A and B are shown apart, each in its own frame.
Chain A
């Protein structure tokens, strides 16, 4: 682009500062919503991928509650204190078609030294567990000594490396990588440590932890096994249980996430269309107002291409500034609302890896700029072919 063209583009930006700042603002909103939408969708997908790989059971047995939703109880953030019968684990293991089964215990502390709110405590049997242990193994390869805990990524541990529950200290042996859901705020402990916890809770007069009674049974079934038959066997034996198949495990979470994705994409597309329309209308009006100017530029030797570059350059400047501001704002929004999404929407939300985030940012940097410039392209072409004689005759 010629230095004179750049000079004209820059000078014209300040000719109508309010109009151009308005266009910058619109483009910024479009860009911010577009980036947030893209990052939001990718984060939900990454969150789900992480969640399903970590919660990879073919079925889960939980206590029946009339208002229970078919989803992992932990994602709702509302822990049920109901438990399953003690013998259900052994019974489940012996059902034909069950490959592996393990019990889990969910309860919450009443505040701890680490956190200003309740902490979810998840107990698992390290001998039989097949959902939590493989995940923990990525960060912690050793045994699970009694009195030790593993904490989620959002749990802050002080320099002593210990955490206190019910006035009893537990050694933190590992901190897990981020999952993007409520499990990031959870503490994991093997069955031996859970016993100590139960005892400590009892000493404090808290009897909500039912000794030895699991909160959930997670199982994998044989390849050819019939889920319906297995669940029927469980229902016939036990009252007040709920057997959830893997396909239903995340239904309500997926529905919430899908709705959130749709809403944010609608908002992003709406602002994108509005900003394209605004840029297009504004530049069309401006080009009409400036016909004589463009004709004069042709007279003094500007080529058609240079006139087109002026119009496109002005549009690119407006949409470019807007896009940069919007992208920065979009990153801020996404990071700021991450906790809100996990807490309020109860959906897994995990920012994808840095390369994907960077590529998304680069893509969203380009899209509004290209669209903004595209909106002015038709006008630029029209101006390039301006009839100088007629334009000069027109009254200003």
Chain B
């Protein structure tokens, strides 16, 4: 497992429903970070050289390496900061405005 999976979480209704311990196990995630973005990064696979600078510099770890030595984004956790596009030496990443979804 490279990244934790989202777990289902039912909000406790009563104080007695809360766990007695102070916290959950490591990597306990119940929500994603999508919805923060105005712009989303899109990679041009033909231009990407697989130097992995964007992977190295992503504050959220939302970029992963693919089998063909390119990169892909995890849009559930990308916050759209644009560091990847700004730091790419080959201009392989562009920031595209998010469409409003209903």
| A and B: bona fide binding partners | no
Instruction: List chain B positions with a Cβ less than 8 A from chain A.
Output: none
